[in-house]
Structure 1
């Protein structure tokens, strides 16, 4: 509560200074004044307000009734509480207390003041206001204001001690056994507290000051109780006359506080309290340990002075923030040497100061950092594997390693590859500092020619296939092996790596390159885990590079196989033939789809489109066998398409070719009579394959359908095969294709056939080669999942080709 003073304004028979002192004590004031003359505040205002019942002003400057008073304007008075002095209905005056600043007057405050006013009126009525009545009214006010509080009045001149009933009972007396002497009080004091309490009372009397003590008493049965007593010495004529005050039992609260202290002392968390001046008021044992100072050094010391590194830190920000907002907070902060620790701090406001609970979380933070590093390393390895697997250019992915490893494993890095001719080439570099990246790029572009191949650390790693750690400082060790006139010699000095390690990229016994990791002087040394991660990364990169090498070999072999299986079509003078093949699997570049075109011994042209079940090299191998069998059967026998397919079915069964396939075999025939009319005969047989399309010279599109579509090859060889026949005009176009052109997951076969018919009608006027290219462009998605083979014929009447073999 704010400090207050008390004053009295009354009729000429005003009671005097003693009642002012009693009122000051009753309401917790620190000083008293007697207004014998009616001033603006102590007289007219109070009397007018008191006439209405009472004056309660919590903020005098903000209240219109008091704001203009001189004392308020001067800042001497901030709050006022006044009650009337009435006798037989007549207004005698007013009794008032006021504080130096605003304060909230309670109902108890008002009741105490009214009790004192009643006492004053009674004494005024008798005309004899004595100290005894003031003291008794004080005891009454204190007892009313505080439940369970007893009042005392010690005459320091005579030693007579007056206690109220509550205090007599509290000390284990009754009215008969209590002798009303100071000795009765001293007799109950605990021996260990007696001298301290007597000294405190003597000090209060000597200085005419306040008295505030907590002590133990021993009751007749031996029970020990804790008592808190507060009072003030009243002087008469400048000499101490009485010690007036109150006392109450605090045993339960003391035991509870002691329990709290025991808990605070026994808990593993550190705890301390700061007052509003930032001084330590309590420190438990764990706080002593974590703060590295004894309790005696900390208590009553200012936190900013004892721990200067807190000034301007997170501690400073949060502590002051809690005081300003009144809201608790939690934060983590680092305190530098000599503590050199991380703390988790919980702060809450406490009576104008702070209570602070904190834990040393340095090890937890270190563990979290270790886990983060482990996760970062695992993520790095996963990213490297993903990029190597996803890219169509593993060398480009390996070159990106220089960027991926920074900053998890290094401040900067350079990736070097061994080319097929044995040359070394730096293919990638990166630096964590964007401004330094151009320097690193220039260094990577010039360092290999500056190195001596017989001694460089890069060549040592390539030859040994083991990581090579460069002696520190790395920049000096590297520069020592470079020709001074080279730019790289100067650049390595500017980049100034303190640590460097060269990791070979090895796979299947081959060293395909190296990655060099560099760290600056301000970075911690690479740990065993860092080196192990870099080694795993280099191994994965090596495998990725070797897979790329094997892939290139496989592609070359596949291309050679493809060329051998899908030969160029013949060029008879009455036909134009165009072909296309697109594999589904880029890795293999071969599959089960095939086309073929050749001349029979009769001179007729045979064209074939087929699809072996499967999309891999096994399907391609089966396709190669079937293609060869079909060619031989068709050429040697000169038979019709249906007989060719029947013969192929029988050969597959007899030779144990365990596969199934679809196919269309078509033969273009031209007799002299048909040639004279500008016509040709097309004969075909279909073994479960999508039907060919015919586009006539007028642009009409037709499907080439027989009476039925026969079973796939390799299902029921004994079942006969049928064939269809059509006479076509010169200028007609025939398209044979595999199902990859018209069927996929998001499109049914019927939808695909309808779309193909429409596109063919749009493209029929194009040259045959362009027509096939445009078909593939319009009908195939980028992510096709099936092989596609196309064969197109454009019929032109002319001289008959010479039969192969002269039949």
Structure 2
């Protein structure tokens, strides 16, 4: 009998690995090959997994590191810095760049989850080095622009150089002292600055005393003497210093090296820049080239300011020589004052004058040539002389004097513009005859303390000189009671930035009223003190006449 058919025996089935597990193993293998460090941390901050790049970063294998906190996984490793960056990155959701290891920079990204943190760490040292190099180049370029802006228009070279130290720190150095040398060869430190606020006062004190105590072998003395750059490690500088006070101060500055750069001018060294670099900081060729460019700009500025200062002093001396003391007029008291402008525009064209007309009447004049330079001062002297000549020609009145001066200017001084007011005191000072060419109006301080400005009754001013030689000049008269003061002044006495002409005029009138009854010299001095409040931005001239009471 045939055997019944039977099913073949069933083999034990093979259990396939789940696709998810295969995927995870493949992913782990792939991640393990990435150049960036990848690691996982549990909620307590312990390492649960890391790839080969992370092992290299931390300096130990996974078998040793897994289960240990990242911040102390390996003594001396960048783990502590990375652990702090992981926490910050997980909280902000943004990458965090951190210095870790021996000069390395790393970008840390962290994604939080139920199991802890998934972290990637990329070495960005090269990228950061390129960025830092670009930033330094931009800083150097900006520095040169700022130095040029600071020095190009400066008329006070010492003050500008004093601010130079703050510009070069910290772009080129950690500390800086600026030294200038006058034409007699005397050196003095005019400015200092340090990147460390705690060392600024120490550097300033050192700068106040060092020049008198530095030996001839010091870098500063050598640079001043030879006019060439000198650099030296600070220990070598300390070795040649004999004064214990300055030696201790330099030691306390904790500088590693010093670089001294001369400030060159056309014929001499006008100063030096002393740059103090902390230990570990070196001045590369590019930084040194920038520092030399700064020194050249500074030297040129000092030289230019010196020449301009000498020219200004000469022009001011000439200007003052022309502004002579007024003559004595019987029955009248005359006071004149001149105040030069601030350093930015010291020489101008303001002038006053007082003289007798051919008829014997006192004449007072105030004028202002447009401009603030030596050309304006020179023109002022010429116009002052011309006006005197016109006034003595046939005993012309104030209006005719101004018209004659306008004609002469058209012929001999074309292009020159000026304002002026001329006043003649007639009948022993009891009557004032006056004319005005675009100038601030004469002001009367009456014996009862009232103040009034003189105009021709139209409220309109007359044309300034140098615009139209044939312009009609008006003339007016006013009676003066004994004790009346006539004040002629230039616009620098009243005009202020940010104010209006009406407000400026009101301030003048109020101040004059307050000073009524004061002796005329004291009145003029106090008027200047109250209205100018220091050195004016424009030069100021005034002439005041008080009619006697006898």
**TM-score normalised by structure 1 residue count:** 0.58
Q: Summarize deviations over 1:113-172 as a string: whole Å, max 9, x none.
A: xxxxxxxxxxxxxxxxxxxxxxxxxxxxxxxxxxxxxxxxxxxxxxxxxxxxxxxxxxxx
- Tell me if structure 2 keeps the 8 A contact 1:680–1:729: yes
Deviation of the 1:566 alpha carbon: 2.1
Paired with 2:323 and 2:367, the residues of 1 have a C-alpha distance of: 12
Paired with 1:443 and 1:698, the residues of 2 have a C-alpha distance of: 59
Aligned to 2:319: 562
Paired with 2:417 and 2:451, the residues of 1 have a C-alpha distance of: 30
| Superposed counterparts of 1:436-515, under 5 Å | 438=202, 441=205, 445-446=209-210, 448-452=212-216, 456-470=218-232, 473-476=233-236, 479-480=239-240, 482=241, 484=242, 488=246, 498-515=256-273
Aligned to 2:443: 693
Aligned to 1:531: 288
Aligned to 1:163: none
Change (3 A) 1:279 1:514: closer
- Tell me if structure 2 keeps the 8 A contact 1:280–1:303: no
What runs of 5+ residues in structure 1 fail to find an aligned partner? 1-175, 190-214, 216-226, 229-249, 799-807
Deviation of the 1:326 alpha carbon: 10
| Superposed counterparts of 1:597-636, under 5 Å | 597-636=354-393
| Superposed counterparts of 1:650-729, under 5 Å | 650-670=407-427, 680-706=430-456, 710-729=462-481
Deviation of the 1:360 alpha carbon: 0.9
Paired with 1:654 and 1:458, the residues of 2 have a C-alpha distance of: 59
- Tell me if structure 2 keeps the 8 A contact 1:446–1:486: no
Deviation of the 1:386 alpha carbon: 6.0
SS of equivalent residue, structure 1 residue 272: strand
Deviation of the 1:635 alpha carbon: 2.3
- Tell me if structure 2 keeps the 8 A contact 1:462–1:504: yes
Paired with 2:439 and 2:192, the residues of 1 have a C-alpha distance of: 54
Paired with 1:359 and 1:378, the residues of 2 have a C-alpha distance of: 31
Paired with 1:392 and 1:330, the residues of 2 have a C-alpha distance of: 50
Deviation of the 1:791 alpha carbon: 1.7
Paired with 2:92 and 2:407, the residues of 1 have a C-alpha distance of: 93
1:594 aligns with 2:351: yes
Paired with 1:439 and 1:784, the residues of 2 have a C-alpha distance of: 35
Deviation of the 1:504 alpha carbon: 0.7
Paired with 2:93 and 2:447, the residues of 1 have a C-alpha distance of: 91
Change (3 A) 1:757 1:438: closer
1:772 aligns with 2:519: no
Paired with 1:600 and 1:321, the residues of 2 have a C-alpha distance of: 90
Matched length: 541
Aligned to 1:131: none
| Superposed counterparts of 1:339-378, under 5 Å | 341-349=104-112, 352=115, 354-374=117-137, 377=140
Aligned to 1:64: none
| Superposed counterparts of 1:790-805, under 5 Å | 790-796=542-548
What runs of 5+ residues in structure 2 fail to find an aligned partner? none
- Tell me if structure 1 keeps the 8 A contact 2:423–2:435: yes
Aligned to 1:398: 161
Paired with 1:352 and 1:718, the residues of 2 have a C-alpha distance of: 98
- Tell me if structure 2 keeps the 8 A contact 1:582–1:787: yes
Change (3 A) 1:311 1:580: closer
Paired with 2:448 and 2:152, the residues of 1 have a C-alpha distance of: 51
Deviation of the 1:614 alpha carbon: 3.4
Stretch moving more, 661-670 or 736-745: 736-745
Aligned to 1:5: none
Aligned to 1:336: 101
Paired with 2:200 and 2:463, the residues of 1 have a C-alpha distance of: 70
Q: Summarize deviations over 1:221-262 as a string: whole Å, max 9, x none.
A: xxxxxx24xxxxxxxxxxxxxxxxxxxxx34x3564466457
Paired with 2:258 and 2:425, the residues of 1 have a C-alpha distance of: 73
| Superposed counterparts of 1:46-445, under 5 Å | 181=10, 183-185=11-13, 189=14, 227-228=16-17, 250-251=18-19, 253=20, 256-257=23-24, 260-261=27-28, 264=31, 269-273=36-40, 278=46, 281=49, 283=51, 286-287=53-54, 307-309=74-76, 313-317=80-84, 331-336=96-101, 341-349=104-112, 352=115, 354-374=117-137, 377=140, 393-399=156-162, 401=164, 405=168, 408-428=171-191, 432=196, 434=198, 438=202, 441=205, 445=209
Paired with 2:453 and 2:537, the residues of 1 have a C-alpha distance of: 25
Paired with 2:492 and 2:205, the residues of 1 have a C-alpha distance of: 47
**TM-score normalised by structure 2 residue count:** 0.81
Paired with 2:259 and 2:6, the residues of 1 have a C-alpha distance of: 95
- Tell me if structure 1 keeps the 8 A contact 2:230–2:259: yes
